[in-house]
Structure 1
Amino acid sequence: MEHVLGPFEVSFVRQALWAGILVSLVCALAGTWVVVRGLAFLGDAMSHGMLPGVALASLTGGNLLVGAALSAGAMALGVTALGRSARMSQDTAIGLLFAGMLALGVIIVSRARSFAVDLTGFLFGDVLAVRGQDLVTLAAAVAVAGLVALLGHRAFVALAFDPRKAHTLGLRPRLANGLMLGLVTLAIVASFHVVGTLLVFGLLVAPPAAMVLWARRIPMIMLGSAVIGSVSTMAGLLLSWHLGTAAGATIAAVAVGTFFASALLARLCHGRAA
């Protein structure tokens, strides 16, 4: 028990655990819709689309969170605008914006002399450096995400399974799609400080993908995803502490590993049932 509970007696590890749990909650609320609607590529593109805003904030001494939010918001607006064209698929729009935002971010970063030091935390996260103020911000993000998920639940469900019926029922699918993009943006921006933009995709997609194999109702998928993400955070922090590995990367690796374990178990159970 000392090996399990000992690391969490250290204040910064305990704060990292709380941060990971809060991130797991917000990622469960947004990631469920990413998985159900098959928008994994969008989630990956959004996480990388923050690079220009964070790079500019780093160069000018601004707030990284604000820079990330503005950049991700611009990415979401671009996806929405280009996605309205009947002659261009959403995947094409996302791919173009993904490449453009990433290229712009690299260009901005190349102007900074100390970008390797300043932006390493942005790319790979620094969960062990989480402060009390960061926990307050994450808690606020969870509250906002929960409110959006609750108010938009009916429209999100209709949009995920039958967009035409959503329009017939007067649920305004375009507005619902914009709110869903906003929810995904909020989750990614709130999470990048913990696991970084290169790894946030793991917590956003892996836990919901693991739960989709076992649950059919959206609330159950969200609840299970939050539990899986929280357990992955705790296990990742313990492994990182004892093995001396990067904490954010270890958390993301455990989350992805949990998905593969869930997929294998589901296959074995379905094989026996057949």
Structure 2
Amino acid sequence: MEWLIGPFEVTFVQRALVAGLLVSAATALAGTWVVLRGMAFLGDAMSHGLLPGVAVAALLGGSPLVGAAASAAVMVSGVTLIGRTPRLSQDTSIGLLYVGMLSLGVIIVSRSQSFAVDLTGFLFGDVLAVGQDDLLVLAVALGATVAVTALGHRAFLALAFDQRKAHTLGLRPRWAHAVLLGLLTLAIVASFHIVGTLLVLGLLIAPPASVLPWARSVPAVMVGAALLGASATFFGLLLSWHLDTAAGATIAALAVAQFFLSRTAAALRSRRAHRPVGTAAVPRAAGQEYPAVPDPRPAADMGAHAS
């Protein structure tokens, strides 16, 4: 039991665990909509697009969170404006902004000879260096994430499953999409200094994607993703302590490992469920996915009844 409990008797590991649990909950709420809407590339671009603001803030001695928020606002505004250009797909606008913001960040970093260590922290995070102020920021961010998710649940649900139906019901899909981008931004900005921009996607995408084949409602995906993220945080900190590995990277690696284990188990379950008794199994077509939430009701009805 000492091997299991011993590391968490240390104060900074305790703070790291609390921070990881808060991040896991916030990213589970935002990440569920990211996975359902297929916005993983946007999440990746958003996380890397924070670099210019963080670099400028570090060079000027300001708050990295403020710099990250400014860069995120530029990214969201750019994606929204360029995405409305005729005959230009949203992926194209996201890709252009991704490269542009990342290049600008590298240029700013290259002007400083002493920013290498800070850049490493930006990319990979330092969950073991979390302070009380960081925990307060994460708690506030989680509270805001819960509020936005609860208030916008019906609109987000309709937007994720049937955007035309959302427009018909007067749910203003463009506004819902903008608020959803804000929710994603909040989760990333609040979490990047804990797990780093290269690793925040691990907790943002892997837990919801792991739960999706097993859940029957969106709230169930969120709860399951939060629990998986919490378990990845606990065991990631435990393994990093005993194996002397990077804590943030170990947490993210476990989250990704959970995804592959979940998908493998789901594939085996589906194969057994769809195999007729006494006959050979029929292989699935390449890329075919079985629906995660087999509900015959329209998306609007799901939004009305989901809790």
Structure-1-length-normalised TM-score = 0.99
Q: Distance in 2 between matches of 1:163 and 1:228?
A: 29
Aligned to 2:300: none
Aligned to 1:263: 263
Q: Distance in 2 between matches of 1:154 and 1:221?
A: 15
Aligned to 2:219: 219
Q: Which amino acid aligns with 1:254?
A: L
Aligned to 2:166: 166
Aligned to 1:48: 48
Aligned to 1:30: 30
- Within 5 A, what are the aligned runs for 1:7-156? 7-156=7-156
Q: Which amino acid aligns with 1:62?
A: G
Q: Distance in 2 between matches of 1:224 and 1:83?
A: 33
C-alpha distance after superposition, 1:131-190 (max 9, x if no partner): 011001000000000111011111111111111111111111111000000000001011
Q: Distance in 2 between matches of 1:112 and 1:168?
A: 53
Q: Distance in 1 between matches of 2:183 and 2:138?
A: 14
Q: Which amino acid aligns with 1:113?
A: Q
Counterpart of 1:119 in 2: which secondary structure? helix
Aligned to 2:180: 180
Q: Which amino acid aligns with 1:231?
A: S
- How far off its partner does 1:216 sit? 3.1
- How far off its partner does 1:85 sit? 2.2
- How far off its partner does 1:52 sit? 0.3
Counterpart of 1:54 in 2: which secondary structure? helix
The two structures, once aligned, show a CA RMSD in angstroms of 0.8
Aligned to 1:193: 193
Q: Distance in 1 between matches of 2:119 and 2:96?
A: 24
- How far off its partner does 1:272 sit? 2.0
Q: Which amino acid aligns with 2:110?
A: S
Q: Distance in 2 between matches of 1:119 and 1:80?
A: 28
C-alpha distance after superposition, 1:182-217 (max 9, x if no partner): 000001011111110011111100000001111131
Q: Distance in 1 between matches of 2:4 and 2:77?
A: 44
Counterpart of 2:87 in 1: which secondary structure? coil
Q: Distance in 2 between matches of 1:86 and 1:218?
A: 33
- How far off its partner does 1:86 sit? 3.0
Aligned to 2:243: 243
Q: Distance in 2 between matches of 1:271 and 1:161?
A: 26
- How far off its partner does 1:54 sit? 0.2
Q: Distance in 1 between matches of 2:111 and 2:9?
A: 42
Q: Gaps (5+ residues) in structure 1?
A: none
Aligned to 1:233: 233
Q: Distance in 1 between matches of 2:112 and 2:216?
A: 48
Structure-2-length-normalised TM-score = 0.88
Count of residues in Structure 1 that have an aligned counterpart in Structure 2: 274
Counterpart of 2:171 in 1: which secondary structure? coil
Q: Distance in 1 between matches of 2:251 and 2:73?
A: 26
Q: Distance in 2 between matches of 1:118 and 1:191?
A: 16
Larger Rg: 2
- How far off its partner does 1:115 sit? 1.3
Aligned to 2:297: none
**Aligned residues with identical type, % of pairs:** 67
Q: Gaps (5+ residues) in structure 2?
A: 275-307
